[in-house]
Structure 1
Amino acid sequence: MKREPNRAEHDWAADKLLLLWELVARRLAADGQPELAAKLRAWR
């Protein structure tokens, strides 16, 4: 039987995913692709 994650686990995972998303966007901007970074941030 599959266990459903509780709210705290979901919030923690969502926060980490958003942090990772922002780090990728910053890296893209630093590597000279600010338009791609902007699209990534807008999609979030």
Structure 2
Amino acid sequence: MTKENRIACITMTIIIGVKIFRIMDRLPQSKNLCFAIEHLVEHYF
């Protein structure tokens, strides 16, 4: 794995993590992390 690939991977992980937390903040009735991840996957994939 090159240095650029490692940086890109870390950056994507951080961005996805931030988006999950934002979704959880926006949907306070769903304190379920699995729901947040499913929502993210449906939205982006």
- Judge same fold: TM > 0.5, yes or no: yes
Q: Which runs of 4+ in 1 moved over 3 A?
A: none
The corresponding residue for 2:25 is 30
- What residue ranges of structure 1 are gaps of 5+ in the alignment? 1-5
Q: Does 1:21 align with 2:21?
A: no
Unaligned runs of 5+ in 2: none
Instruction: Figure out how many residues of one structure are paired with residues of the other and give that number.
Output: 35
Report which of the two structures shows the higher radius of gyration computed on alpha carbons: 1
Question: CA RMSD, aligned part only?
Answer: 2.2
